[in-house]
Amino acid sequence: MIRMLFGVVLAALALGAGGAQPVAIDVGHYLAKPGATSAYGVPEFEYNQSLAAVIAARLEADGVPVRLIGFRGEMEDLYARAPQAEEAGAQFLLSIHHDSVKAELQQPWIWNGREQRYSTYASGFSLFVSRKNPRLAESLACASAIGAALRAAGLKPTAHHAEVASGIGRPWADETNGVYYYDNLVVLKTATVPAVLFEAGVIVHPDEARELATAERRALSAAAVERGLKDCGVIDGR
């Protein structure tokens, strides 16, 4: 299975413009700054990389070309990511992330002899669009379609990004399907194609972090992403 996914990843990394329009999948963060840390000490980048590979494999298996961005963890310049999607002729950009909560909502625990931090304050997926993206209507339609597919698969959105008391207070774009506005996210606001950021779950939550690391959860998320992209018309819905 790992060899198969790696083969798909190499093919996706090598894909350029030409033929059918690809979907660009951005692997959030990079090796030097890997994002949040799970309750078990695993960097977010590893979660992002693994889920991106599964989504790419599923789309490629159904004949959808994929352009992976930042898969090797080398892309430190956030402003270079959206242009790679456009250079590949991508019709859509999906940025893959995994979530956390503010530090004051976390507490220490010992895991495998090392102190880590965890929180049960929030769990669930979320999606983000930027009102600075020139294709906002299409971005929002796809974010809502992906969120609806995730809910249909039995997953729940998290509401903690909307909580003003938490110091975040992101405005809802589609509360039912877990979609927020986050206008200044670089990858979203600099894209000229429809673009969505997907937080697949909260890795600081011990139970969800464990589930998000399973092949079953990644496959479920990938299937929902594909269903959403079909429903919003990015890829062939047959």
Q: What is the pLDDT of residue 6?
A: 44
* Helices then strands, each counted (H, E), the chain: 7, 9
| pLDDT band at residue 165 under the 50/70/90 scheme | low
| pLDDT band at residue 169 under the 50/70/90 scheme | confident
Q: What is the pLDDT of residue 20?
A: 73
**Cα angle 155, 232, 20; round to 5:** 115
Q: What is the pLDDT of residue 4?
A: 43
Q: Rounded to whole angstroms, how far apart are CA atoms 92 and 235? A: 9
Q: What is the pTM assigned to this prediction? A: 0.91
* pLDDT surpasses 80 at 2: no
Burial 197-225 (b: 16+ CB within 10 A, else e): bbbbbbbbbbebbebbbeeebbebbbbbb
Q: What is the pLDDT of residue 19?
A: 54
H/E segment holding residue 83: helix 81-87
Taking residues 188-204, report their average pLDDT: 98
**Cα angle 49, 82, 91; round to 5:** 90
Find, among 194, 193, 159, 189, the residue nearest to 177 by Cα: 159
Q: What is the pLDDT of residue 10?
A: 45
Q: Rounded to whole angstroms, how far apart are CA atoms 162 and 159? A: 6
DSSP string over 156-210: -B--GGG-GGGT--PPEEETTTTEEE-TT-HHHHT-SS-EEEEEEEETTSHHHHH
Q: What is the pLDDT of residue 173?
A: 98
Count the neighbouring beta carbons within 10 Å of the beta carbon of residue 116.
Answer: 18
- Edge to edge, what strands does the sheet with 179-181 contain? 66-69, 23-27, 92-99, 195-202, 126-129, 179-181, 172-174
The percent of residues above 90 in pLDDT, for the chain, comes to: 87
* pLDDT surpasses 60 at 156: yes
Q: Rounded to whole angstroms, how far apart are CA atoms 169 and 35? A: 21
CB 23 within 8 A of CB 233: no
State the chain's mean pLDDT as an integer: 92
Q: Rounded to whole angstroms, how far apart are CA atoms 119 and 197? A: 23
Taking residues 79-95, report their average pLDDT: 97
* pLDDT surpasses 80 at 225: yes
Higher pLDDT, 3 or 111: 111
Which region holds residue 235: left if phi is over 0, alpha if psi is between -120 and 50, else beta? beta
Q: Rounded to whole angstroms, how far apart are CA atoms 157 and 169? A: 15
Taking residues 131-140, report their average pLDDT: 98
* pLDDT surpasses 50 at 29: yes
Q: What is the pLDDT of residue 140?
A: 98
